[in-house]
Structure 1
Amino acid sequence: MTRPVTVGLDGSPASLAAADWGAREALRRQVPLRLVHAWEWQPYQHAPLAGTGDGPRVWSQRVPREAAADLRNRYPDLDITADNLMGPPTETLCDAAREAELLALGTARVGGLAGFLVGSVAMATVAHTDRPVVLVRAETTAADEHRPPTDGRPPSAMAYRPVVLGLDLSRPCSEVIRFAFDTAALRAAPVRVVHGWNPPAYFAYGAGANPTLNTDMAAEHTDMLRTALRPWQEKYPGIDVIEQPVIGHPARHLVEAGSDAGLVVIGRRTHRIGHVAHAVLYHCPAPVAVVPHD
């Protein structure tokens, strides 16, 4: 069975940006696009929405239908379905994700320094689904996926920005690495691998006695990173891999790398979103893919 790229819609500008991103990703993967809107009836939902003349149920049916019509006009070669699903949003989205290549959801900016708003439904879905979830910012456009033009070429002819992979060498997981390399291969984009590390607590005491300790530890982490990536470079020989072992909190470095990324890929352990993933989801300017692993 061919799995679609699925997008959860709520009618917001952020979810429509996610739908547009999902359409482009579906074309790259050569799979259908499925738009879903989860609606849960509430006893008090009986009055028409202000200014629309529609009740909540009628409005909820319009959301995926109108988004699908717009996307069909812009992507006529893409197979698009639109479904209005009844049930609790988080549970419904997790069920839809189970049958998908990935699930895309929208997030909104809440201020220049405050980062992005990741709603409770999105966070719960990220935490509980067993499929990759991509969070797309409301401002994301097709042009953001490509390097800035230098010679007047159209966006479709420009090189893609790199896929950034956050890699924890203490427990590297094949699911996360494979997703990053597969995604990069679809774009013919490089993979920038960010591995953050910190010197052990005793480092400050030993540094004076051994001035080369910092350099030696950095070289050791570089070697570890190269060793972990070697099998993947052999499996994806056409992908340019940029190794970036860095000292300090990995979330900060991933957010910085995200300013020049087409996609940032991070992992999460089952039913848990760690502090690194939290920070990246709330502050990274690029779309973020969260890939579950054991």
Structure 2
Amino acid sequence: MLAPVVVGVDGSTESLAAAEWAAREAVRRDRPLRLLHVWDWHTRQGEGVPASATQRYLARQCLRRAEDRVRATCPDVRLYEQQIDGPATEALVKAAEQADLLVLGSRGLNGLAGFLVGSVALGVVAKARRPVVLVRADEDDGDEHLPTDDGASSTRTGCRDVVLGIDLNAPCDEVVAFAFQAARLRGARLRAVHAWHAPGPLGLGPGDIALVSERERADEWQDFLSAVLQPWHDKYADVRLVETVVEDRPGNTLMRAATGAGLLVVGHRLTERSFRPRIGPVTHAAIHRAGCPVAVVPHE
């Protein structure tokens, strides 16, 4: 069987929105959808404590609500459900290993739960070796599509841009491939964005090209971006590509580019350190500040 799109559901509005988004993505990818509930999602009991009958009942209710929501909006998806024991972060990371991608809501039920679920989501992003997509509570099908001429939301218009944040100091094939595929599946335009900075007073910084004028340096970065993306554009010739380089901080540049986008794609470099995996500042900013779904693609 093809690896499924897996979505973690916990009963929150965020996880229900994530389930809808995951269902649409599963149909686009021609993959089955697995609704996954982790019993100790909110870490209310110790590791290894069996789920009670009440927990199992609530888990079934949670999965049923998610299934009803998915069936109502995406009836053609191939769907199945699963309940597993926690801890949540470890369970979701393990589930991601057998997934095409993992989808999570980006907030929880309330202030306390939101903090805990947010911590789970960040932990999963830091450790997962498969792409993870984070979806906010107010995301719906219309948000993936361009507005009509009068500004109204519609599901009949074309899809909004996919935005790729690319670091030309260390471009990564996995991240670029994910973005091109996402754009192709949607019939959307792909906007590839790189932020650069001029050398400081002490000389060239890492990745700076030369001590030349800002206009020349911008042109160099633009040429470099085109050269990096050309093989991928040749492979995905049907994808409309827009390449942009900006002199600014990467986080600010990505947030501006993601305004009005349908999906933001960023990378996350995996490390061999087993203690306290960390997320880079640009990816961290994207997760917390972007208004659209954010796909975090791991790479070595």
TM superposition score category, shorter chain reference: 0.7 to 0.9
The code of the aligned residue for 1:42 comes to Q
Shift of 1:204: 9.7
Q: Distance in 1 between matches of 2:152 and 2:239?
A: 23
CA offsets per residue over residues 189-239 of structure 1, 9 Å max, x none?
A: 11101100000113999xxxxx97111111111111111111111111111
Q: CA RMSD for the aligned pairs? A: 2.6
**Aligned 8 A contact 1:137 1:287 in 2:** yes
Shift of 1:255: 1.0
CA offsets per residue over residues 75-97 of structure 1, 9 Å max, x none?
A: 22111111111121111111111
Matched, 1:287 2:290: no
Match of 1:20 in 2: 20
Shift of 1:154: 8.3
Given candidates 272, 275, 285, the residue that maps to 2:281 is 275
Q: Distance in 2 between matches of 1:136 and 1:152?
A: 23
Helix, strand or coil at the partner of 2:37: strand
The code of the aligned residue for 1:286 comes to C
**Aligned 8 A contact 1:109 1:138 in 2:** no
Matched, 1:146 2:141: no
Size of the alignment, in residue pairs?
A: 277
Over 3 Å counting, the alpha-carbon distance change for 1:213 and 1:289 in structure 2 is same
Alignment of 1:242-281 (within 5 A): 242-270=242-270, 271-281=277-287
Q: Distance in 1 between matches of 2:143 and 2:72?
A: 21
Identical-pair percentage = 44
The code of the aligned residue for 1:119 comes to G
Over 3 Å counting, the alpha-carbon distance change for 1:226 and 1:94 in structure 2 is same
**Aligned 8 A contact 2:162 2:179 in 1:** yes
Shift of 1:60: 2.0
The code of the aligned residue for 1:200 comes to P
Match of 1:214 in 2: 214
Match of 1:72 in 2: 71
Alignment of 1:170-181 (within 5 A): 170-181=169-180
The code of the aligned residue for 2:187 comes to A
Shift of 1:67: 1.1
Over 3 Å counting, the alpha-carbon distance change for 1:72 and 1:275 in structure 2 is same
Match of 1:190 in 2: 189
Shift of 1:272: 3.3
CA offsets per residue over residues 122-143 of structure 1, 9 Å max, x none?
A: 0000000100000001111111
**Aligned 8 A contact 1:5 1:22 in 2:** yes
TM-score of the two chains, using structure 2 as the length reference: 0.86
Q: Distance in 2 between matches of 1:34 and 1:201?
A: 50
**When you count strand as a share of all residues, which structure comes out higher?**
1
The code of the aligned residue for 1:219 comes to D
Q: Distance in 2 between matches of 1:252 and 1:244?
A: 14
Alignment of 1:224-239 (within 5 A): 224-239=224-239
Q: Distance in 2 between matches of 1:109 and 1:255?
A: 23
**Aligned 8 A contact 2:104 2:132 in 1:** yes
Q: Distance in 1 between matches of 2:193 and 2:202?
A: 22
Shift of 1:55: 2.9
CA offsets per residue over residues 48-67 of structure 1, 9 Å max, x none?
A: 9xxxxx93332123211331
Helix, strand or coil at the partner of 1:202: coil
The code of the aligned residue for 2:45 comes to Q
Over 3 Å counting, the alpha-carbon distance change for 1:181 and 1:221 in structure 2 is same
**Aligned 8 A contact 1:23 1:33 in 2:** yes
Matched, 1:4 2:4: yes
In structure 1, runs of 5+ residues without a counterpart are 49-53, 111-115, 206-210
Q: Distance in 2 between matches of 1:244 and 1:74?
A: 35
Shift of 1:69: 2.9
The code of the aligned residue for 2:178 comes to F
Q: Distance in 1 between matches of 2:130 and 2:10?
A: 20
Shift of 1:152: 9.5
**Aligned 8 A contact 2:147 2:153 in 1:** no
Over 3 Å counting, the alpha-carbon distance change for 1:225 and 1:19 in structure 2 is same
